[in-house]
Amino acid sequence: MKKLLTIISLSAILFTSCSKDELVTVADGAGKTTLTFDATFNGSDFALNKDFALGTKTFNFTKFRYWVSNVTLVNAAGEEVKVPGSYYLLEETGAINLVGVNNDNAATIYPATKREDVVLKEIPAGDYKAIKFGVGVDQKYNDNMSLQSGELSQLNGMTNVSWMWLTSYIFTSATGTVKEGTASKTLKVETGLNANYKTVALNLPQSIKIGASKSANIVINVDLSKAFDGIDVMATPTVGASQAAVMSAVAANYGGKVFSVKSAN
């Protein structure tokens, strides 16, 4: 009887031990976090076909699109966790007629879309204190559009054949109108080219915990008005590769001014 009780007791201990290990494994498993890119303009919620005042100018937008790529989370120990295949198109746009996108003249309609959220999955469990990401598409994929990763595609109207010998991605695009007094200009401000790929590094206001049973949310403020800091859009309402210096300045604004962390929990 004592031998039987001993065996039962040992079995119970082993069962308890295995159960605890399984619980630890589940609790410490990979998790996910949602990035919300909250578009604004000079303190107001961004929307298409809406007037925004900035100094003496009034902006009204028909499209705002940009690539976020190579997302990296920094844990409490300062180690970087790179999210594989993290190429995302954030946008607010009406329907776009992509004539010739399939090398013919048939109309290809890209539907009206508003996209502000990105879900990062299979993130190793832990505490995270900072986030990094690129604005645009890095040289490996920008120079060779036959390579695919994440959401990269030529079928969304975010490519340009006139900037380089080969087709390359448009990194950011904001179109609409800008007015000052009685003057009105059609606005098309875009960035691209490898030299204008920028990396944004943001500290979180507080560490977030990610795990199998704990998801997190990071809200990033995207203030489009900051993209125009130091830019005379009335003198240069169209910005592309032909306006290299202005494009470089706009790209620098995206890299250092447009993005900030609103909250993390």
Q: Which of 205, 209, 230 is nearest to 220 (CA)?
A: 205
| CB proximity list for 126: less than 8 A, separation 6 or greater | 75, 76, 209, 210, 211
- Say how many Å lie between the first and final Cα of the chain, rounded: 55
Q: What SS3 state is found at 13?
A: helix
Lowest average pLDDT, out of 32-36, 51-55, 159-163, goes to 159-163
Task: Kindly state whether residue 202 falls inside one of the protein's structural domains.
Answer: yes
Q: How many domains does the chain have?
A: 1
Domain containing residue 246: 31-264
User: What is the reported pTM?
Assistant: 0.86
Average pLDDT, the chain: 88
Task: Kindly state whether residue 22 falls inside one of the protein's structural domains.
Answer: no
**Cβ burial, residue 36 (10 Å; 0-12/13-18/19+):** middle
Task: Kindly state whether residue 211 falls inside one of the protein's structural domains.
Answer: yes
Are 180 and 238 within 8 A, CB to CB?
no
Q: What are the tens digits of pLDDT across the range 141-188?
A: 999 999 999 999 989 999 998 887 778 999 999 999 999 999 999 999
Task: Kindly state whether residue 167 falls inside one of the protein's structural domains.
Answer: yes
